[in-house]
Structure 1
Amino acid sequence: MVDGINGDGLARRQFLSLAGTAGTVGLVGVSGRRYRREPDCTAVREGATRADGYVPLPADDEISMFRRGLRRYGYYPDVTVPETVTVDWSMPVNRIGHTAAKSTPRPMPDGETILVAGDDGRVHAVTPTGERRWELETAAGTSLGFHGTPAIVGDTAYIGGYDGALYAIDIERGEIHWRTPPRAFGGAIAIGSSPAYLDGQLYLFAEYSNPPSGALWAVDAGTGTPVWSDDRLWGMPHPSPAIDCETGRLVGGSNDGVVYCWEYPSLEFAWSFQTGGEDGPDGDVQADGAFRLGAEIKGTTPVYDGAAFVGSWDGRFYRLDLADGSEDWSFETGQVVMSNPAIDPDEGVVYVGGDDRRIHALDADSGENLWSHNVHGSVIGSVTTTSEAILVGSYDGHLYALEKESGDRRWRIENRGHVTGGAIPRDGRIYYAERGVFSNYYDDDEPTVLEEPGHAYCLVADS
């Protein structure tokens, strides 16, 4: 590994694993540069101004990303959710018991192909009506498959796997264009992060073990070559980086309960914020390099109005100032918060769910709770907001549509397993995915049994 080197010439993770009784090592990451050029944010800033800030990138209509863009809003202002819906088609995609949120189906920019990544390491390409175009089996199937969502640029999809590799997939042919192996990421064991794309570069978090830690990577999208990294993160970071070109910030959280922020596009480190109270999470770095997890951050952190919005396992949801990381406000739920929140930038409202089994609509400026609705199960996936409704999956096995103004239920539709993939509305259809159905999953004395695969679904208006 070229970068992330301490004074003795060892990668920090390797150094800590060998440290023995050398003493506690703090959060001191080291950034490294290889051949990275700074991307041009001009077009993104101009595009955001023209379109009130919610478009993912300026209007070339060739880019599609998790949470609909760099700011990770999950906002679809031009979509109207039907008053009632029915399942048009479904297909099995998820077969692994891992409880992490499942990959969100991602339409190509033209809407003619839908990509669905499964936790068995397969990627499926289907038409909007459910006709299969191709199915690609990858080496990620030897681990926990895919949980991140592909970033689509032109005819190429980029996605990280739980095998620690990054894949570029030719969408027209259903073939791997290139695969960057785990060793190129310093021995990563997983990439659950959904890549952000800007001006020829991808940004993602990678995960490591011995000790549990992470790194932010920049990768050349044309070749798959890593060009920069910073390994200061502790815990194993699952979230996806969010980028705000207007404020010049890139942010993301990790399982250590810390929100990390870099200047953008320079990637100089800017600040960090520790959730879990003044004393930090319930754990620290040990002399042997081990790390006990505390107030984990699992959800992606959207950026809006000069602020970052993040939920934590400490039972709070925060608004942080992007300039210096100071806390503007926090909202207490009393339970773990790990969903990907949605933001309506036109109304200035953020929607978030958690283990309190509720969706909360919060005023983004003040943190005031505008309404809360019980969805009868934990919310660990993505919340989606449209012109007049909220879409959210629940551990109770349903996908919900809630009225945006009041939180009243418009409809809910029953599924097989826990609905932990985000719901994507496109051209009169709603796509989403669920976890498989398992028995004995939490029973250490009995083998876990897959009763039924988790499906990807397409809903249409009920005629």
Structure 2
Amino acid sequence: MTSGQRQSGPGGLDVLFRAPVERAGNTFVPASDGQRLYADVDRRIEAFDLQTGARLWSYQRPPGGPSALVVRGGRVMFAGDSAVAVDAATGREIWRRELDSYAGFTESDGDADAFYTGTEQRSIYAFRATDGALLWRRQLGADWPHGGIVRGITVSGDTVYAVLEHNTGINAYIGTGDVFALDRHTGAIHWTYRNGDGTRLSIFQSAGRVAGGLLLLSANWDNEFLALNRASGTEAWRVRGGLTFSGPQEAPEHRRGVAYVGSHDQHALALDLATGRELWKTRVQAGVNWLGVCGSRLLVGASGLHVLDLASGRVLGHGYGSESNEVLGTDFVVVGNRAYVFGIGHLYGFECPT
């Protein structure tokens, strides 16, 4: 289908486009600045038109895949074997900086001033966004005998929240999830938080998500969802999903006082943001990997697309799964009341009811 030829999708969605993308099944970390959609497609950073899905430019990135694209101030920034910034309008490389080790397992973040990333050596880097000049660098967990890795960076206000996977046993079979709150300007540590006692796999594998005064996190292997007080690092609430199933690949989503989570026990949940109290719980057809809040719908990536009513959790529709030989392989990118996601061979654009 082409732009202007809308079709009805599951759960009341309008299908804006279904654009063929070569090697779309090898797509990772889509992101948007509201002007274009960007993604790592088979080792190239590519930009797409939000109205039609047409490819606008393509940039052959350096070795080492980014686990996040950060789009700020007209720049697309990412890190793998090195930290890189390209022009968001053209794909022209602006700067490239070396790192002490691989950063492709880290969800990087940034703001108008700087790009923040972390490496396998647990170093947190802050690079000036305009020219890549090093602003500061801090190594965390230098005394951890079995090492660890930076999994995610979230910047908000004057604080950078670094989420680390801390290995407490050989071969990383057990570990804790450690969070450090750092000063955005200097890298000084304000507080630390540790999830688990090191005797089981109680790790975080994704960045936290800021929701007002809270930092939302998913303890993936414990299938637990928790909120930390951003000012103190103390735990505000914790909710456990299915006991024998791992959790999702991202931190909880949220909107208007409600947090949304899902796990591989085939359920999506809505939680009161202030207390963690369960508001609704809905069974879907497969384990949940991705969630997106779009208009009045919750989009659930679980062996296809499940469309739920945001207020009640009622399943309104399902599609783009085995019945169409499709697999949706990326997180949803939501821009206003529109959502974008990559499948095996296509980029999809949806418009959600408000």
* Pairs within 5 Å for 1:64-79: none
Deviation readout 1:332-362 (Å, 9 max, x if unpaired): 1123224232111x3x111112222221111
Segments of 5+ residues of structure 1 without an aligned counterpart are: 1-80, 283-293, 435-452
Query: Within the alignment, does 1:410 sit opposite 2:327 as a pair?
Result: no
Deviation readout 1:154-213 (Å, 9 max, x if unpaired): 2x211223xx22221123333222222xxx321x1233434432342111222x2xxxx4
Deviation readout 1:220-262 (Å, 9 max, x if unpaired): 11222332122214522232x22332xx532232222212222
| Match for residue 197 of structure 1 among 107, 110, 121 | 110
Q: Which amino acid aligns with 1:165?
A: S
Match of residue 251 from structure 1: 161
Match of residue 267 from structure 2: 358
Segments of 5+ residues of structure 2 without an aligned counterpart are: 1-9, 142-146, 167-176
Q: Secondary structure at the match of 1:202?
A: strand
Q: Secondary structure at the match of 2:190?
A: strand
* Pairs within 5 Å for 1:282-321: 282=200, 294-312=201-219, 313-321=221-229
So what's the TM-score if we normalise by structure 1?
0.63
How many residue pairs get aligned? The number is 320
- The Cα shift of 1:133 comes to 2.0
Relative to total residues, which structure has the larger strand share, 1 or 2? 2
Query: Within the alignment, does 1:124 sit opposite 2:36 as a pair?
Result: no
Match of residue 102 from structure 1: 28
Match of residue 262 from structure 1: 182
Match of residue 78 from structure 2: 159
- The Cα shift of 1:401 comes to 2.1
Considering only aligned residues, what root-mean-square deviation do their CA atoms show, in Å?
A: 2.7
Query: Within the alignment, does 1:336 sit opposite 2:246 as a pair?
Result: yes
Structure 2: how far apart are the matches of 1:419 and 1:237?
Answer: 27
Structure 2: how far apart are the matches of 1:174 and 1:274?
Answer: 39
Q: In the alignment, is the contact (CA less than 8 A) between 1:160 and 1:194 conserved in 2?
A: no
Q: In the alignment, is the contact (CA less than 8 A) between 2:25 and 2:342 conserved in 1?
A: no
Higher relative contact order (CA 8 A, sep 6+): 1
Structure 1: how far apart are the matches of 2:329 and 2:43?
Answer: 17
Q: Which has the larger radius of gyration?
A: 1
Query: Within the alignment, does 1:222 sit opposite 2:141 as a pair?
Result: no
Match of residue 99 from structure 2: 185
Structure 2: how far apart are the matches of 1:426 and 1:168?
Answer: 22
Match of residue 89 from structure 1: 18
